[in-house]
Amino acid sequence: MEQPLSEKKSAGPLLPSPLVQHPKRTSALRSSLRILSVFLLCGYACMTLTAQLPLLVDDLLDKHESRCPQSDPLVPERNGALWKSLNATFGTESFKAQAVDWLGGAVRVPTESFDDMGPVGEDRRWEAFAPFHDYLLAAFPLVHSTLQLTKVNTYGLLYVWQGSDASLKPIVLAGHQDVVPVNPMTVYEWIHPPYSGHYDGRKIWGRGSLDDKSGLIGSLSSVESLLARGFAPTRTVVLAYGFDEEISGTEGAQNLAAALLGMYGKDGVAMIVDEGGGFAEEYGSVIATPGIAEKGYLDVKVEITTPGGHSSVPPKHTGIGMLSALLVEYEGHPYKAKLTRQDPLYSTFLCLGEHAKEVPKDLRATIRRSWSSKKALRQLQEEIFKNPVYKSFVGTTQAVDLIQGGVKANALPEKASAVVNHRIAVISSVEEVKAHDSELLKGLAERFNLTYNAFGTKVSKKAEGAPSSGSLTLSDAFGTALQPAPVTPTGKDAAPYQLLSGTIKASYNSHRGLTGTNEIIVSPGMPSGNTDTRYYWDLTRHIFRYNHHNAGKKTNRLSGVHTVNEAIEVDTFVEIIRFFTTLILNADEATTL
């Protein structure tokens, strides 16, 4: 009979157990497991450390060196009392009324420039600028009685406010007199007539109120105000106003640049400030983005020539049909944009990552890691390129903007052409774009049996004299190809950038009664278009494209640059005057420009 469990004697386990049966093996196995555990833990720790290393390194570096160093607000010292007095004046209702009169009167003089204008002296449409000069003479009497005015190519304006110290390089404040024409078909859409200069108690309305008579009149208003207080500069101040910026500046700024080069020589100017970026709220902080570079420019004319004939006996592809296929090829193969650390937009995001208050934690970490990590840079690119505007700032763009072909419905077109506008990335060149476009269309040229000439080079592989269906020619449509601009220095040793940054901060603070160091963050930026500064590269390395206004304010369509309802708040215009005044006084006291 089986014994009860309680009475059974232990007979040992049913299966052999080395832990019980072999004590020496047990100890060795335990040691091995401990070593394995330590090894695994160390491996995990190493993997974690490796993954976090770029961020840890950045954390250490950030304690010693900023990726986006900020200047303190720069307030004039020698002329501090004058600056404070003028700032008080700028805040009065009487000065605001004067500012309205100055800018409103300028808007009321139409100064349109057109793409098809001939040379000065031949095309009478340039004569529209003479009444504008008469207006300036009447509106700014102290400027015209004190500064030396030279008219370059009849309508270019070059004012020189001679400083007492000829050894100091001058500063140049640039702008343009011309405006984009108002489409007669859209006049009824304007809340106030486009050349009324109407003031509604808050805004001044009309073409040019923003682009760029606010800049031109703003700098003149500043000089007039300084002269009224008896200020005489130590450093020369030059005002340079072109009159055809909207059509590439070949008659205006190109000639002004030659005159300035003759006066001051290569690198003879301390710094230039022209129209460009402004400031806006981004991620909970206000950021100003003076343009330190410009994209290049190339208009490519794509032209097809084919035999004519009656349309009742058409070929398989007419010239317009072939041109259409070429343009589809263009749009089917856009340029690939790639964010690099040399791009101004990257510098902007470095500043946002370091200073903006509401940047998401993950994005901030990605921005910081991107300084040393290619993977993080690609991740940042992916995030940035979700915004098509940012993407267009970085890469070379293309847009089919003009097309022409045929003269009659029953006649085969003998010529058909289109113009493709390119804005060339900072890290690219005109030559790269020409090579890209030439290669892009080669296959279609062969398919359509066209002789192919691209920018003066024969590309077609057809045997000499072999019959063809026509010709394809690529060329610089208007002879206005432009390389990307040299990048303006922005480091700690770049005195002009530091002076501009401090001036932006002081102007912003004083207009709002603020005193903080980082009420506004200043970051390198880049405007989307080109300005008259394309002609000024030889004068200085320090070129800034900046309008001191809130570029982030958009109320319906009421800020319509180049479109209907262009307008500017008078408070914004007064702040522009305040900025130019502060800049002139700060530059006058600077010894290292």
Closest alpha carbon to 175 in 103, 251, 241? 241
- Spatial neighbors of 356 by CB under 8 A, at least 6 apart, are 282, 283, 284, 285, 287, 521
- Residue 571 phi/psi, 5-degree rounding, is -60, -40
- Residue 346 phi/psi, 5-degree rounding, is -65, -40
Q: Which residues are annotated as a binding site for Zn(2+)?
A: 176, 211, 246, 274, 562
Closest alpha carbon to 383 in 398, 364, 358, 397? 364
DSSP E strands, 283-360: 285-288, 296-305
Check residue 353 and report its DSSP letter.
H
The answer to whether the CB of 455 falls within 8 A of the CB of 507 is: no
Say how far apart CA 497 and CA 181 lie, in whole Å: 34
Interstrand relation of 520-522 and 285-288 (parallel, antiparallel or unpaired)? parallel
Say how far apart CA 539 and CA 157 lie, in whole Å: 17
Say how far apart CA 246 and CA 202 lie, in whole Å: 27
Which two tokens mark 370? 């991107």
The answer to whether the CB of 429 falls within 8 A of the CB of 484 is: yes
Q: Which residues are part of the catalytic machinery?
A: 178, 245
- Spatial neighbors of 263 by CB under 8 A, at least 6 apart, are none
Amino acid at 564: V
Which two tokens mark 579? 């900025």
CA 278 remoteness from chain centre: 10
DSSP string, 102-145: HHHHHHTS--B--TT---TTT-GGGGGHHHHHHHHHHH-HHHHH
Say how far apart CA 236 and CA 234 lie, in whole Å: 7
Amino acid at 23: P
Q: Tokens 């600056």, residue?
A: 83
What does the longest C-alpha to C-alpha distance in the chain come to?
Answer: 133
| Contacts within 8 Å (CB) and 24+ apart, 138-142 | 139/101, 139/102, 139/105, 139/106, 139/220, 140/220, 140/221, 140/223, 140/224, 142/223, 142/224, 142/227, 142/228
| Contacts within 8 Å (CB) and 24+ apart, 453-456 | none
Q: Which residues are annotated as a binding site?
A: 176, 211, 246, 274, 562
Say how far apart CA 447 and CA 213 lie, in whole Å: 51
Beta bridge pairs of residue 370: none
